[in-house]
Amino acid sequence: MNAYTHKVQYYETDKMGVTHHSNYIRWMEEARTDYMEQMGYSYQKLETLGVISPVVGIECSYKASTTYADIITIKVEIEELTGVKLKVKYTMTKEDGTLAFEGISTHCFLGEGGKIVRLKNEVPELYEAFLNSMNM
């Protein structure tokens, strides 16, 4: 899968000119959405299948600050896939190779009425797409 690239916007910085910490979580979502689109499963397609994938946990480790106009490369990897849970790992680096951030988001899969969806059994094509993306 191709890494996702984000250019830090001025509005994402604080009074000190440093990227506000909350933006990294937004970038995680941008990168995850891009990753899934590369898999052939946009969030719109998931919803068409009757599946949503809410975030149930976030882990963040800030390594180096970023500032306006920095180009951030975000590598996305599936760290864990069970039939019910998905863990996604994010590694963000600056153009000079400096590690800026590492994070993990944990997701579940829900269907109509908030019922847990077991991908392997109920949406096997999506489960297979995640498995295949792990081997790329």
User: What would the pLDDT profile of 97-113 be if each residue is shown by its tens digit?
Assistant: 999 999 999 999 999 99
Is 14 a catalytic site residue? yes
pLDDT of residue 83: 83
* Dist CA 46 CA 122 (whole Å): 13
Q: Please pick, among 14, 34, 70, 96, the residue that the annotation labels catalytic.
A: 14
C-alpha distances out from residue 70 to 4, 28, 76, 114, Å: 14, 16, 19, 39
Q: Pick the closest to residue 109 from 37, 53, 60, 66 (CA basis).
A: 53
What structural domains does the chain harbor?
Answer: 4-134 (3.10.129.10)
Going 21 to 24 to 26 to 29, the CA torsion angle's sign is: negative
pLDDT at 136 over 80: no
DSSP state of 16: T
Residue 28: band (very low, low, confident or very high) from pLDDT cuts 50, 70, 90? very high
